[in-house]
Chains A and B, each alone.
Chain A
Amino acid sequence: MKTRKKMTFSRRNFIKTSALAGGGILIGFNLVTACKEAAKPPVDISKLNFQDFNAFIKIAENGYVTIFSPNPEIGQGVKTSMPMIIAEELDVPWEHVTVAQGDLDTENFERQVAGGSQSIRFGWNALRQTGATAKQMLVNAAALTWNVDPATCSTSDGIITNAKGESLHYGEVVNTAATLDVPEDVQLKSIEDFKIIGKDATNVDMDKIITGKPLFGLDYKTEGMKYVCVARPPAFGKKLKSFDDSDARLVKGVSEVVQFGDKVAVLANNTWAAMKGKQALKIKWVSDAKLENSELHDVELLKILEGKDVVVKREDGNVTKAFAEADTILDRTYEAPFLPHNCMEPMNFYAHVSKEKVHLVGPIQTPAGTANRVAKLIERDVEDIHLEMTRMGGGFGRRLYGDFVMEAAEISNLTKQPVKVIYSREDDMTAGIYRPASKYRIRASIKNGEITGYHLIEAAINGNMWAGIASYFPAGAINNYKVEAGNYRSNITTGAWRAPYTNFLAFAEQSFFDELAEELEKDPIQLRLELLGKVPNQTDDPNTYSSGRMSGVIKLAAEKSNWGKTENEIYQGISAYFSHNTHVAEVADIRMVNGEPQLEKVTVAVDCGIVVNPTGAKNQIEGGVLDGIGHAMYGDYSFEEGIPQDSNFDTYRLIRMKETPVVETHFVESNIAPTGLGEPGLPPAGGAVANALKAATGKRLLKQPLMQSLRKQMSDFKV
């Protein structure tokens, strides 16, 4: 007999059921509340309406299950993997499950979406418990029908069987189940009994995507809606002085021009007219703040690296003493530019502000916070705000910010009509919330062949790393250890960009350890494993950094990449990093072809606990690695007099197919609760490439974009 995990928890407060008019049962639960780690039960259950729920399981009389997921899809696959977890515990075949979003077909229950993209990490327990609770209700209903003890019944693939061998399928008991109380005491499956989790499941929106069905924010429209393009200040530090819209109003299809704040909106009957109308505006801008240059940022960030205005994030031992007593000191500075997000679907949002309500539709990662901000901005009750999320054409952090939702709401409020604000690519790239430019200075002291001290300073525009990051590798492995950070306040808007801070910190640190290995005449993998061996291991909390799991992924990557055993022309580089609760190691293989480096393959080892959906998980890692490589090699963004220097893909370089290596992903087998995969593949990628480039070309590249640095160092190298 396998051990089963027994759990008691108050499901009543999270789950409510109802019989469906045409037969079947609807189970509502609040994924957002349930997914919070320390969720407080909502007020009085009797006052709770279905409107307070945002996720539903519908089981029809034929036993088929529909899971209405509130989770928008950014591209991270959660819309597929989260329902898989429910279906697993519900114990139904995945083929009997349909996942729907935003089209709940009952008139009685208005769907109100309240939650953002909750990661698997928060959802794991809540989703399992929800599925198990639903299953228990069906078992209780069957037991009642047979007049037996529910404990004597078992389930498999949507069928309940009793001790006598009689069976009923779920659909036959749903109507009875709808009349029963929600059970509080349910059992979760043991991991070895999983049938759905761990098997490949294709993206649930697949057919719609490949046949071009409306899915994304930009695809949403309503009758009479105006298409809106907005002129925004062309430089950071400028504001609107005056404008002349007489030409814009002459453009056919343009219906209205309105100013709001420092922006001018052109409303039209179609996108093209709105774009042309915007171009026809004659606007005078004046500067009201400093117009910054990227050179200024460089100078200011370098001052911080000298130790000006920094705060200590972590300090162990005595770094000053270690450096004073050192035989050798390695001292390096790593530099990275600003980066735009460039979601493939440009920012856009629909708003219709009417007396009755405020209807907002589009791609946003933070619906609850955004609804609050809109309510405040246009002075409405937050209960009036109905926000629906669409599938998102990429997020990468940009859609955490609701600036474009505010614009749509404000314009609709001013003009009293339904509007859709559409960013052109130029708007999207130049009115960005950028990955801040940053620099790291890392020094290490070496005495008698040992690393005795480590000192890292971060200098970034506007913000600094979170405290926790300072405690990842190599913290704990080196006795005298110090991390400091300082920032330069700029009026260029910056924010989260896929794997904030670690997206470049990992490059700096992992490049540095490669040089340290060289200095100590050690194999770079050996050096990392030795250092990790000095850090006490913690494996019980799946969400924290663990030196043991880190060593595990490094060893797996070494094995799968044939580290040190490849043919002659292949040059390898290793990099390993823990971010967003997942441990990842990557080995990049470069081949020299006619004197030029060609990236052939990246071998990736990932420890993210249980892999819910392997094909989706691999897709995330492949994307994250190639994204990391692309931006490390080519990504470059700068400002002159506050003006963004690139505005479209003709001059702004993103990685394209011909530059991509093969990504080969391996997961560490694990029974630990799962962690996220959207970000962690990215941070190690740049370091793996830089270290492989060093092996292949002899050039150590400290500044991104790497291809620009390489070109500077190798004049004969054509890119």
Chain B
Amino acid sequence: MAVFNLNINGKNVSVDVDADTPLLWVLRDELNLVGTKYGCGIASCGACTVHLNNVAIRSCVTTVSSAESAAITTIEGLGEDKLNPVQEAWKELDVPQCGYCQAGQIMTATSFLNKNPNPNKDEIRNAMNGNLCRCASYNRIEKAVALAAEKMSKA
């Protein structure tokens, strides 16, 4: 075991875990940040998506040791005081069904819109294609990303 210093949602924390522990399990088991979900463990579903220096990554295949010097944002840190435009759009369009995949969807959408604030339909569909939703709430996710872009452009 070793001590790792992490910066999560603007706070510095240290954890004592094995170096090969995926960031996902550090967040969930050690830090009680359970909003980030486990779905596959092999970077195939997107449920575990978090931001590393504002870029969406799969925390299930990112070791804690490789996340040390980065700013990590999880769903809990996204709209701490007030919902961000993506979360607002999700709420407005009543997107979730079971809800399990939605934190990952929101994290992917947020980082995508930061890079491309004015996407067209195909760009949205491409960007979100890596995030599985077993309940198939895809129609609403697609609409919500477009709505979030609109909200961001007005803000």
Task: Report whether A205 and B91 are in contact in the complex, using a CB–CB cutoff of 8 Å.
Answer: no
Q: Is the CB of A18 closer than 8 A to any CB of chain B?
A: no
Q: How far is the CA of A12 from the CA of B100 in the complex (A)?
A: 39
Task: Report whether B36 and A346 are in contact in the complex, using a CB–CB cutoff of 8 Å.
Answer: no
Q: What is the interface residue range for chain A against chain B? A: 35 or more
Task: Report whether A272 and B35 are in contact in the complex, using a CB–CB cutoff of 8 Å.
Answer: no
Measured CB to CB, the nearest residue on chain A to B18 is A252
Q: Is the CB of A98 closer than 8 A to any CB of chain B?
A: no
Q: Is the CB of B151 closer than 8 A to any CB of chain A?
A: no
Task: Report whether B94 and A616 are in contact in the complex, using a CB–CB cutoff of 8 Å.
Answer: yes
Q: Is the CB of A211 closer than 8 A to any CB of chain B?
A: yes
Q: Given contacts A200-B94, A212-B33, A270-B25, are A623 and B100 in contact (CB under 8 A)?
A: no
Task: Report whether B139 and A658 are in contact in the complex, using a CB–CB cutoff of 8 Å.
Answer: no
Q: Given contacts A73-B98, A207-B91, A209-B99, are A623 and B137 in contact (CB under 8 A)?
A: yes
**Residues 364-397 (chain A) with a chain B CB within 8 angstroms:** 391-396
Task: Select A425's contact among B29, B33, B41, B100, beta carbons within 8 Å.
Answer: B41
Segment of B51-59, B70-78, B112-120 engaged in the interface with chain A: B70-78
Measured CB to CB, the nearest residue on chain B to A345 is B100
**Residues 643-677 (chain A) with a chain B CB within 8 angstroms:** 648-650, 654-658, 660, 662-663
Q: How far is the CA of A219 from the CA of B100 in the complex (A)?
A: 11
Q: Is the CB of A463 closer than 8 A to any CB of chain B?
A: no
Task: Report whether B75 and A212 are in contact in the complex, using a CB–CB cutoff of 8 Å.
Answer: yes
Distance to closest chain A CB from B41 (angstroms): 6
Q: Is the CB of A235 closer than 8 A to any CB of chain B?
A: no
Task: Report whether A424 and B97 are in contact in the complex, using a CB–CB cutoff of 8 Å.
Answer: no
Residues of B with C-beta under 8 A to A658: 125-126, 129
Measured CB to CB, the nearest residue on chain A to B137 is A623
Residues of B with C-beta under 8 A to A655: 136, 138
Residues of B with C-beta under 8 A to A616: 94
Q: Given contacts A75-B97, A626-B139, A649-B132, are A212 and B125 in contact (CB under 8 A)?
A: no
Q: How far is the CA of A216 from the CA of B101 in the complex (A)?
A: 11
Task: Report whether B75 and A344 are in contact in the complex, using a CB–CB cutoff of 8 Å.
Answer: no
Q: How far is the CA of A425 from the CA of B128 in the complex (A)?
A: 21
Residues of B with C-beta under 8 A to A392: 98
Residues of A with C-beta under 8 A to B125: 657-658
Interface of B, secondary structure class, is: loop
Distance to closest chain A CB from B148 (angstroms): 12
Measured CB to CB, the nearest residue on chain A to B77 is A212
Task: Report whether B83 and A345 are in contact in the complex, using a CB–CB cutoff of 8 Å.
Answer: no
Q: Is the CB of A215 closer than 8 A to any CB of chain B?
A: yes
Residues of A with C-beta under 8 A to B65: none
Q: How far is the CA of A216 from the CA of B153 in the complex (A)?
A: 34
Measured CB to CB, the nearest residue on chain A to B79 is A211
Task: Report whether B44 and A620 are in contact in the complex, using a CB–CB cutoff of 8 Å.
Answer: no
Q: Is the CB of A619 closer than 8 A to any CB of chain B?
A: yes
Q: How far is the CA of A591 from the CA of B53 in the complex (A)?
A: 41
Distance to closest chain B CB from A400 (angstroms): 15
Measured CB to CB, the nearest residue on chain B to A393 is B100
Task: Report whether B96 and A271 are in contact in the complex, using a CB–CB cutoff of 8 Å.
Answer: no
Q: Given contacts A74-B98, A271-B25, A650-B44, are A660 and B139 in contact (CB under 8 A)?
A: yes
Residues of A with C-beta under 8 A to B42: 425, 648-650
Q: Is the CB of A638 closer than 8 A to any CB of chain B?
A: no
Q: Given contacts A74-B98, A212-B75, A345-B98, are A218 and B38 in contact (CB under 8 A)?
A: yes
Task: Report whether B136 and A203 are in contact in the complex, using a CB–CB cutoff of 8 Å.
Answer: no
Task: Report whether B136 and A622 are in contact in the complex, using a CB–CB cutoff of 8 Å.
Answer: yes
Task: Report whether A203 and B40 are in contact in the complex, using a CB–CB cutoff of 8 Å.
Answer: no
Q: Is the CB of B45 closer than 8 A to any CB of chain A?
A: yes
Task: Report whether A272 and B25 are in contact in the complex, using a CB–CB cutoff of 8 Å.
Answer: yes
**Residues 407-431 (chain A) with a chain B CB within 8 angstroms:** 424-425
Residues of B with C-beta under 8 A to A424: 41
Distance to closest chain A CB from B45 (angstroms): 5
Residues of B with C-beta under 8 A to A89: none
**Residues 600-633 (chain A) with a chain B CB within 8 angstroms:** 615-616, 619-620, 622-623, 625-627, 630
Q: How far is the CA of A654 from the CA of B129 in the complex (A)?
A: 11
Task: Report whether A252 and B1 are in contact in the complex, using a CB–CB cutoff of 8 Å.
Answer: yes
Q: Is the CB of A342 closer than 8 A to any CB of chain B?
A: yes
Measured CB to CB, the nearest residue on chain B to A270 is B29
9 contacts between A and B (CB under 8 A): A75-B97, A200-B94, A210-B87, A216-B37, A270-B30, A342-B134, A393-B101, A425-B42, A657-B129
**A-side interface residues toward B, CB under 8 Å?**
73-77, 200, 202-203, 205-207, 209-216, 218-219, 221, 227, 252-253, 270-273, 342-346, 391-396, 424-425, 615-616, 619-620, 622-623, 625-627, 630, 648-650, 654-658, 660, 662-663
**B-side interface residues toward A, CB under 8 Å?**
1, 17-18, 21-22, 25, 28-30, 32-42, 44-45, 47, 74-76, 78-79, 83, 87, 90-91, 94, 96-103, 106, 125-126, 128-142
Can you list the 7 inter-chain pairs with the closest CB atoms, starting with the nearest?
A: A212-B35, A393-B100, A75-B98, A212-B75, A626-B136, A649-B44, A209-B99
